[in-house]
Chain A
Amino acid sequence: MNKEELIAKLKVIIKPYTANSEAYDNLTENTDFIKDLEINSANLVDIVLDIEENFDVVIDNTDMERMLDVKTAVEIIETKLAAK
C-alpha cells in the first residue's frame, strides 16, 4: 500500500468522527485531528481502534499519545505494517 492509498483509507476511518467538515474536505498530511478536525479525545480513541481493525495492527500507549495529526498517524501505520 502506498502513502496515497493509506491516507485514503485513513480518511474513510476518520470521517464519522470529524466535527469540522470543511477541514475534512481540505485534509492534508498536516491536518491536526484535534485542532483542525475538532475531534475529541473519546473519538480519537475510536479512530485508533478502527485503525487497528482496518490495518490489522496494534497501537500502544506511546503511539496513541503521538497520533495527533495525519502525518504522524501515517508514519505509525507504515512502521507497524513494515514490521509485520
Chain B
Amino acid sequence: MNLNEIIEKLPYTKPFLFVDELQHVDENSISGSYTFKEDLDFYKGHFKGNPVTPGVILTETMAQIGMVCLGIYLLGDAFNNETVIAFTSADMQFLKAVYPNEKIMVTAQKTFFRFGKLKCEAVMKNEAGQEVCKGILAGMITTKL
C-alpha cells in the first residue's frame, strides 16, 4: 500500500480531515504533515479575536496521522467497509501554541497492535522543528467491537 492509498482510505473529509500528506510508513512508525489553514471554522471561536489551534484538534490530528493512517497500513487488505475505528484514550502534553497557517509534522511509533487495539507514542513538531505536542494515543481498529 503506498502513502496516497492510505490517505484515500481515511474515513474523514473536510472539515474534519487533518492529514495533507504522509512522508513515511513502515510496520513500526509513520510520519505525516498538515497545514492548519486560517479559514478553518474553529478559529472563529477559539479564541474570540485571537485564533489558536485547539488542543483537541491537535490531538485529533495526531490520532489521524499517528494512529488511523498507521492502522490502515497495518491492516492492509483487511481494512474495508466493515472496519470500525474508535479513539479510546489520549494522554497528551501541549507544549507550544499552533497558530493559523502553521504546517506541522507528526511522527508516531507503534507501542503495540494486538487484538485490534493500536497504541502509539506520537510527537508533533512545527516548521521550526520545535515540539508543540506529544503523548500516548490508543484506539481500536477492527472489524468488530
Contacts and interface: CB of A to CB of B under 8 A. Distances in A.
A45 B145 contact: no
B88 A40 contact: yes
Contacts of A48: 114-115
Interface string A2-14: 0000000000000
A42 B114 contact: no
B145 A41 contact: yes
Contacts, number: 27
Contacts of A42: 86, 88-89, 117, 138-140
A64 interface: yes
A29 to B, nearest CB: 23
Contact of A61 (B88, B115, B117, B139): B115
Interface residues of B, number: 13
A73 to B, nearest CB: 14
Contacts of B142: 41
Contacts of B145: 41
A41 B117 CA distance: 9
B139 A49 contact: no
A42 B117 CA distance: 6
B116 interface: yes
Interface string A59-77: 0010010000000000000
B112 interface: yes
Contacts of B139: 42
A49 B140 contact: no
Interface of B: 86, 88-89, 112, 114-117, 138-140, 142, 145
Interface of A: 40-46, 48-49, 61, 64
Given A42-B140, A45-B116, A46-B117, 7 more contacts: A41-B117, A42-B86, A42-B138, A42-B139, A43-B88, A49-B112, A61-B115
